Amino acid sequence: MATVRNLDALDDVIHQKVRLGVMSCLMASGEADFNFLKAALGVSDGNLSTHLTVLEENGYIHIRKEFVGRKPRTTYSPTPLGHRAFEAYVAALEALVRS
């Protein structure tokens, strides 16, 4: 693995702590709904929505909206690009820590 000499190798989209938390949850579970992410990360609806939008706009997550009974449910999952970006982020972080 190449040695990272600076912070440029860290993906700015993922590096923000809420987005890192979202991606970590999604990578661990494969998918999660809005309420799970909100509770797991301890953030407000608006804060979570803002960060999910950034991840979606960058192609890192897929959003599925459906109704369960009469209640709306929004589920998020990492895209293949999101998987690659997260794995590259973790590798860059490990290289930075070891350099």
Sign of CA dihedral 93, 97, 98, 99: positive
Global pTM reads 0.89
CATH code, domain with 67: 1.10.10.10
Residue 27 has, within 13 A of its CA and on its CB side, a CA count of 19
Neighbours of 73 (CB within 10 A): 13
Residue numbers of the domain that contains 34: 20-98
* 83 belongs to a structural domain: yes
* 38 belongs to a structural domain: yes
For the chain, what percent of residues have pLDDT higher than 70?
A: 94
* 32 belongs to a structural domain: yes
Give the mean pLDDT of 10-21: 96
How many domains, in total, are found in the chain? 1
pLDDT score, position 1: 45
Please answer whether residues 14 and 91 qualify as being in contact, where contact means their C-beta atoms are separated by less than 8 angstroms: no
